[in-house]
């Protein structure tokens, strides 16, 4: 994470730090909750590789705090730390990834993660489904030899508690929480 554009900016461009603070950009080491820093929820390999800016808006930052609070409940439930592969996505980053335009990731209201120490993404989804944690969407995403599975947790305001499974094609069969085909959430 040391190569993250935001972090290198805050370290190497000290003269611009005031300007950055004035513009509302938060330091990436800012804790959002006991276990999650802002950096954990904005870091992106794709953004890094493609030089895409992934700075959350003020509204997204507020949502990220709500997301982090829900992820804290997940960590407590699972009893192990989680590994986040994608949290907030700026519109440019979301487009580069090929995400849906309405993805909750663009509002800072979703995270993709795994928890290897607990078990498979399927078992993580089952555990969250059977807990009292309130969410909008819990999606078991992919899980093929080409695309390793992960958990998508959306915490949008609708709080529908939808539990879904995304498969890559209609002929693909595996354990699912609810069969659902969609390009990308």
- Distances in Å between the Cα of 88 and the Cα atoms of 22, 47, 52, 115, 153 are 21, 11, 13, 19, 12
Which residues 26-85 are close enough to bind Zn ion by CB under 5 A?
none
Q: Count of CB atoms within 10 A of residue 84's CB?
A: 18
60 vs 152, beta carbon nearer Zn ion: 152
For Zn ion, which residue has the nearest CB? 152
Task: Single out the segment in contact with Zn ion by CB under 5 A; choices: 45-53, 73-81, 148-156, 160-168.
Answer: 148-156
Size of the site for Zn ion (CB under 5 A): 2
Q: Nearest Cα to 69, choosing from 114, 109, 118?
A: 109
- Residue 48: both structure tokens together: 């890094």
- Give me the 94-133 binding string for Zn ion, x by CB under 5 A, dash otherwise: ------------------x---------------------
Q: Is 89 in the site for Zn ion (CB under 5 A)?
A: no
User: Is residue 45 helix, strand or coil?
Assistant: helix
Q: Which residue among 6, 74, 151, 152 contacts Zn ion (CB under 5 A)?
A: 152
**What is the H or E stretch that residue 114 is in?**
strand 110-114
Site residues for Zn ion per CB under 5 A: 112, 152
């Amino acid at each position: 994470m040391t190569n993250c554009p935001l972090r290198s900016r805050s370290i190497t461009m000290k003269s611009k730090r005031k300007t950055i603070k004035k513009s509302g950009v938060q330091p990436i080491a800012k804790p959002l909750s006991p276990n999650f820093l802002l950096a954990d929820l904005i870091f992106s390999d794709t953004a890094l590789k493609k030089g895409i800016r992934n700075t959350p808006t003020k509204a997204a930052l507020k949502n990220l705090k709500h997301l982090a609070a829900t992820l804290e409940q997940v960590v407590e439930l699972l009893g192990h730390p989680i590994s986040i592969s994608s949290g907030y996505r700026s519109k440019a980053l979301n487009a580069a990834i090929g995400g849906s335009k309405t993805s909750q990731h663009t509002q800072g209201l979703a995270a993709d993660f795994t928890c290897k120490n607990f078990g498979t993404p399927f078992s993580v989804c089952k555990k969250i489904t059977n807990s009292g944690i309130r969410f909008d969407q819990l999606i078991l995403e992919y899980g093929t030899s080409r695309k390793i599975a992960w958990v998508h947790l959306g915490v949008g305001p609708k709080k529908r508690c939808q539990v879904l499974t995304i498969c890559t094609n209609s002929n693909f069969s595996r354990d699912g929480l609810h069969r659902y085909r969609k390009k990308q959430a």
